[in-house]
Chain A
Amino acid sequence: MMLSDQTIWGLETKANEIRQSIIEMLLEAGSGHTAGPLGMADIFTALYFKILKHDPKNPKWEERDRLVLSNGHICPVLYATMAHAGYFPIEELKTLRKFGSRLQGHPHREFLPYLENSSGPLGSGLSQAVGMALGDRIDRGPSSDRYIYCLMSDGELDAGNSWEGAMLAGKEKLRNLIAIIDRNNIQIDGFTEDIMPLENLRARWEAWNWHVQEIDGHNFSEIVSAIDQAKAIFEKPSVIIAHTIPGKGVKEFERDFHWHGKAPNKEEAKMALNELRTLSGKIRSEHE
């Protein structure tokens, strides 16, 4: 599907609002992850505002697509996007990581039942999504139109469990499974290729019988058309390697692995919000 300029502009605006919410909630929480959530804001926006079959007013709707977040530490972007999509009040985002909050430091569906899974320990989400796709196929057969999306990080591909899931999905030809890898090249100790090289990433997935696409993870047209193409592949699961910039939207945070696992302080948050609100200085009427 070709996106109109107006649609793209609408998604970009929404993603910008979500990035602002991420900064605000991390500042309030005083801890958490910054780089991954900012980097994945465009993909989450595309999913919740364009791609997913879902109903925020009826979160248990049986026909909904399932979204599994495997790398739970980027949950600020999940929470912020869900709040903006109408699952719960945006005001609640400020409770992130606090005692009694539904927004646990890593997602826990016993606290927030709108989630499809709890996550945090890395490498287990893809297999859960594989299980969902298998369960769906048993009930609906191979032409089911419920899709299972797994959002995962590149760093968690160090974990054997990730590849166990990938092998099984390839063997089972799970066509309604679509994995999206946040290929931002960083993990907590440094750059992925220094910590544990993942390349040739495309070849690895192809070897397990997956359909592989590589996209610019900040380009809404590419995100949406990659999903369309994934849905058109009938014999294989699909993986979309989304090249993203960690910290995207705030220049001072971008591509710096030190921002993987820390939250901005008051000054940094003020700077980041200003940069987001002024669209990196393009809006000059912002006085803060």
Chain B
Amino acid sequence: MNNLNPKIFDKDVEQVPIRKGFGQGLVLAAEKDENIVGLCADLTESTQMLSFKEKFPERFVEIGVAEQNLATVASGMAAMGKIPFLSSYATFSPGRNWEQIRTTVCYNNANVKVVGSHAGVSVGPDGGSHQALEDLAIMRVLPNMTVISPCDAIEARKATLAAAGMIGPVYLRLAREPSPIITTEETPFEVGKAQVFYQPNEKARVGIIATGALVYQVLLAANQLETEGLAAKVLNISTIKPLDEEAIINLAKETEAIVTVEEHQTTGGLGSTVAECLAKNQPTKIVFIGVHDKFGQSGKPAELIEHYGMDANSIKTAVRRLLN
């Protein structure tokens, strides 16, 4: 459905890091528009800006380990008509340079694209200091900012091209580890539009709203639940802001309850924005899956996803508990 990867439920589903899609998208966008420039804070390879740097060295600026400078220099370049993409790990940017993003990017309404890689506990062995779990909250709260959180590498490529083509500040959230390819070239992607990624045959009792790589865990859960006789409909929210309120309200209307799933603190991110929307328009019982007011830690990505209760089994359990 929705032209998703037909092999999605295969054991050997192709896995690609979401950040790679950004790297490819940036080169494609830069080929189309000579105003695109790249800035990086000493993480050019791991944030996947390296191919851009190699292809367009005169349009790349190495900032060094200075994230506040990363945002402010980008703001200045935007003032001269450039379209800066700046990348680092999300804990550092937008973590360390939040005020610079607020004032010099958003308050100026500068055409700057902030790319935060290594979001979520799936960063793995590097540990909690490097696992951004707050970035959606701190970006979503800024006026003028669009917030995008792609679910796979293909969607990340489309999101990068979309960010390049729109005027205004954008935050793009990326993950480090290889994750299953969920979508295809034909899957619709539009900034501000949610997409139904799982439609059960029978009327859905629960609506699951998810973002990022965890959309895969949600699809697994929905598929298994359906075979077990419980119908769940899944909505992929790749744009956290502006939120596709209509899609969320409709989902709440047609189901008994809502579950939100994000690799982020359950405060301030996807769950909160869905709750704000439904509290205003369609009060609904919601269960929030994500990290509950804790920091991450070292471990294997799958171990950590399970530990924090965000894997397919945990999602299934939460859905069953909610409906009982």
- A-to-B contact residues, CB < 8 Å: 66, 68, 108-110, 116-121, 123-124, 127-136, 138-139, 160-161, 164-165, 167-168, 172
| 7 A/B residue pairs, CB under 8 Å, sorted by A | A127-B69, A127-B104, A130-B76, A133-B76, A165-B72, A167-B66, A168-B61
Establish whether residues B103 and A168, one from each chain, have CB atoms under 8 Å apart when the complex forms.
Answer: no
Also in contact, A124 and B79, with CB within 8 A (given A117-B104, A119-B103, A134-B61): no
Q: Note all chain B residues with C-beta closer than 8 A to A161.
A: 68-69, 72, 100
Main secondary structure of the interface of B (DSSP, over half): helix
Closest to A68 in B: B76
Residues from chain A with a CB closer than 8 A to the CB of B104 are: 117-118, 124, 127-128
Whether A127 pairs with B109 at a CB distance below 8 angstroms is no
Q: Which residues of A contact B103 (CB under 8 A)?
A: 118-121, 124
Cβ-based interface call for B59 (8 A)? yes
Q: Which residues of B contact A108 (CB under 8 A)?
A: 107
B156-170 vs A, CB cutoff 8 Å, 1 = contact: the mask equals: 000000000000000
Whole-angstrom distance between the alpha carbons of A56 and B233 in the complex? 59
Asked, given contacts A117-B104, A160-B68, A165-B69, whether A131 binds B75 with beta carbons under 8 Å apart, the answer is yes
Determine if B108 is an interface residue (Cβ-Cβ < 8 Å). Answer: yes
Contact with A along B17-32 (1 / 0, CB 8 A): 0000000000000000
B80's partner among A109, A121, A132, A165 (CB-CB below 8 A) is A132
CA distance A136 to B37 in the complex (A): 12
User: A120 CA to B69 CA in the complex, in Å?
Assistant: 16
**Is A164's CB under 8 angstroms from B69's CB?**
yes
Expressed in whole angstroms, the minimum distance between the Cβ of B109 and any Cβ of chain A is 6
Inter-subunit contact A131/B72 (CB<8 Å): yes
Q: Which residues of B from 102 to 119 have beta carbons under 8 Å from A?
A: 103-104, 107-109
Q: Which residue of A lies closest to B63 (CB)?
A: A168
Contact: B69 with A129, CB < 8 Å? Answer: no
Q: Name, among B73, B75, B103, the residue most crowded by chain A CB atoms within 10 Å (CB to CB).
A: B73
- B residues near A121, Cβ cutoff 8 Å: 99, 103
B81 contacts chain A at the CB level, 8 A cutoff: yes
Is B77 in the interface zone, CB < 8 Å from A?
A: yes
CB neighbours (8 Å) of B12 from chain A are: none
Residues of chain A with a CB closer than 8 A to B73's CB: 127-128, 130-131, 134, 165, 168
Is there a chain A Cβ closer than 8 Å to B58's Cβ?
yes
- Complex formed: what's the CA distance from A221 to B68 in Å? 36
Cα separation A116 to B104 with both chains bound (whole Å): 11
CB distance from A271 to the nearest CB of B (A): 36
User: Which residues in B have their C-beta under 8 angstroms from that of A129?
Assistant: 76
Instruction: For residue A137, give the distance in angstroms from its CB to the closest CB of chain B.
Output: 9
Please measure, in the bound complex, the distance between the C-alpha atom of A167 and the C-alpha atom of B41, giving whole angstroms. Answer: 14
Structural contact, B79 and A132, CB atoms closer than 8 A = yes
Assembly CA distance A170 to B243 (angstroms): 43
Q: Which residue of chain B has the shortest Cβ distance to A165 in the bound complex?
A: B69
Closest Cβ–Cβ distance, residue B168 to chain A (whole Å): 12
Residue of B nearest to A125 (CB): B72
Contact A124–B72 (Cβ < 8 Å): yes
Question: Can you name the residue of chain A whose Cβ is closest to the Cβ of B76?
Answer: A131
B74 at the interface (CB under 8 A from A): yes
B42-78 CB contact bits vs A (8 Å, 1 = yes)? Answer: 0000000000000000110101101011001111111
| Contact status B108-A118, CB under 8 Å | yes
Additional A-B contacts beyond A128-B75, A135-B81, A168-B69 (14; CB < 8 A):
A110-B109, A117-B79, A118-B104, A127-B75, A128-B76, A131-B76, A131-B79, A135-B80, A136-B80, A139-B81, A161-B100, A165-B69, A165-B72, A167-B64
B85 CB to nearest chain A CB (Å): 13
**B264 contacts chain A at the CB level, 8 A cutoff:** no
Q: Within 8 Å of chain A (Cβ to Cβ): is B82?
A: yes
**In chain B between 87 and 134, which residues have their CB closer than 8 angstroms to a CB of chain A?**
99-100, 103-104, 107-109
Complex: A46 Cα to B72 Cα, angstroms: 27
The 6 closest A-B pairs by CB, nearest first: A131-B76, A135-B80, A127-B72, A164-B69, A128-B76, A131-B73
B contact residues around A165 at 8 Å (CB): 69, 72-73
A residues within 8 A CB of B69?
127, 130, 161, 164-165, 168
How far, in whole Å, are A42 and B7 apart by their CA atoms in the complex? 71
**Min CB gap B50→A, angstroms:** 20
Closest chain B residue to A120 by CB distance? B103
B64 touches A168 (CB 8 A): yes
Residues from chain B with Cβ under 8 Å of A68 in the complex: 76
Select from chain A the residue with minimum beta-carbon distance to B37.
Answer: A138
Asked whether B79 lies within 8 Å of A134 as measured between CB atoms, the reply is no
Residues from chain B with Cβ under 8 Å of A119 in the complex: 103
**Structural contact, A131 and B80, CB atoms closer than 8 A:** yes
Given A110-B109, A161-B100, the answer on whether A132 and B76 have CB atoms closer than 8 Å is yes
